[in-house]
Chain A
Amino acid sequence: MFERYIRPMWAFVFRDWHLTRRYMSWVVVFVFYAIVNSATIALIGKAQDDFRLTLTLLLGVLLWSFLSAMYNEIANSISYERWEGTLEYTFMAPVSRLIHLSGVSLFAVIFSVIRTIVILVGLVLFIQVSVNGANLLGVLVVLLVASLAFMGLGLMAAILPVMSPENGAQATNIFQGILLLVSGIYYPVSVLPSWVQPLAYLSPATYALEACRKLMGINHPDSTSDKLVGAPLSSVLPELGILLLMGVVLIPLGLWVFHTAEMWAKRTGKLKRTG
């Protein structure tokens, strides 16, 4: 069990950690940029002297930062391997795709949680916003449950570089952009064109945001800029249920789609570095 499953899964965490370590200066630059970028968005609320708007933007930017970092780690894992030329070696290792992608996803979750905490601390220090009274533990639970659904989406997006060595990596960004647009990260979904709004219900980020806004107490009438009235976790059970269901459907679906793409790539010779 340990030799066949756990150790091979850990191999991907080991690899990604050492790659992150070797690229640490870039990681620091990107986190710094993420803090600055997040601050510029959250300061729009400060300028309006509206703590609800500030917190809505802050939550949106943090949640999107977490989910997109995780999605990117998974979706781009195949692109990285193509650039390095290691894809064939990974694919000929005696490791099931479930173990392979679970290892990649495990590192992605750990990395994204740490990155988000660093950004949160940076933001709170910089824009002096109070989260006193918010159910932050509940927010963390929602993020972890939502990450299951985003893993599934990441797995599906990861096939794009398998199918098209030339354009696949770029296409994963289009997919991510659509999610950002339809999920109402910084605005209510109701301001989207009516024909786009149904897509919001298909995005896990929509439900994660809804739940987190309640847990933070952003729209609670008794919340003030000094003391928020965060809801208990039990009040977001419907959103958690939907997120869990999405994860349960999207992860096996993602694995199946990935397996199908891999079989196709093995028939057409697309696993080769140059395609």
Chain B
Amino acid sequence: MLTLESTKTQLAIEVSDLKKVFRKRDGLRAPLKEEWALKGVSFQVREGETYGLLGPNGSGKSTLIRILSTLLTPDGGTVRMLGHTLPEGERELRRKMGRVSVDAAFYKKLSPRENLLYAAQLYGLEPRTAEKRAMQILEQLGLESRRFGDPIEEMSRGMQQKIAIARALLINPPLLLLDEPTTGLDPKSRRDVQAFLEDLRAREGTTILLTTHDMAEAERLSHRIGFLAHGRLVAEGTANELKQKAGTESLEEAFIALTGEAFDEEELES
């Protein structure tokens, strides 16, 4: 079981009563419909901790990550990360966090090298230093250096996701937001990414917020896990605590027992 050093007591993420509602209408004259994506979510993540958020599609995981990434404004509640409150501390916070989303978003015609150098310059990094660091990370992730000049569109999804991780780590951020980073990857790439994240945490003490469908991944990587269902954080604790609380053998059974919800077959396979 993963445990966090007792010396790490500072909070890296404090989310309190976070709410988000999306309003839309189906036709010009139709009344506005409200869909609550988050209904008052609260949790805390300590420095150096990996916190896994588990939830099926539509549970609010991505909305939560996008609010923390400063891309979405909440409708209620407060967010404080690395000592900065949103939205006031947004600019400073952006310098300190990296994000990897489920779709490795790149300029597909450009090579990994060009995409990473662009990202590095956006963050004000000196291109040569950034290139060295990027190549180091990519090699650690198992990407062959002879492919660094090829257009990204010619690469597999696994390779693209590894490049996305390298991009997020270019600035050596103390906080990493990972939104289903291994979804759709082949088993080898998935293992590579998971091993890299474990190594990163051990070396740098990076705080990681991870959303995933993969129970084994959540259990392997997370110090603590939160179950998110219908926009609410239903339960949280270590994997063992959650299993004990639900009186089940597996984390998946614990999720079903505590949330009353099951993952789709498709979600579990991805």
Contacts and interface: CB of A to CB of B under 8 A. Distances in A.
A259 interface: no
Contact of A273 (B72, B103, B109, B121): B103
Contacts of A86: 105-107
A23 B73 CA distance: 36
The binding surface of chain B is classed by DSSP as loop
B58 interface: no
Interface residues of A, number: 32
Interface in A3-60: 3-4, 7-8, 10-11, 14-15, 18-19, 22-23
A94 interface: yes
Interface stretch (B91-99, B140-148, B228-236): B91-99
Contacts of B123: 8, 93-94
A267 B118 contact: no
Interface string B189-230: 000000000000000000000000000000000000000000
Contacts of A23: 109
Interface in B95-148: 95, 99, 101, 103, 105-110, 114, 117-119, 121-125
A8 B124 contact: yes
A244 interface: no
B1 interface: no
Contact of B118 (A4, A15, A94, A263): A15
B73 A85 contact: no
B69 interface: yes
Given A15-B107, A89-B105, 15 more contacts: A7-B125, A14-B121, A15-B110, A15-B114, A18-B118, A84-B105, A85-B105, A85-B106, A89-B119, A94-B95, A94-B122, A94-B123, A267-B72, A269-B22, A269-B66
Interface of B: 22-23, 63, 66, 69-73, 91-92, 94-95, 99, 101, 103, 105-110, 114, 117-119, 121-125, 151
Interface of A: 3-4, 7-8, 10-11, 14-15, 18-19, 22-23, 84-86, 88-96, 263, 266-269, 271-273
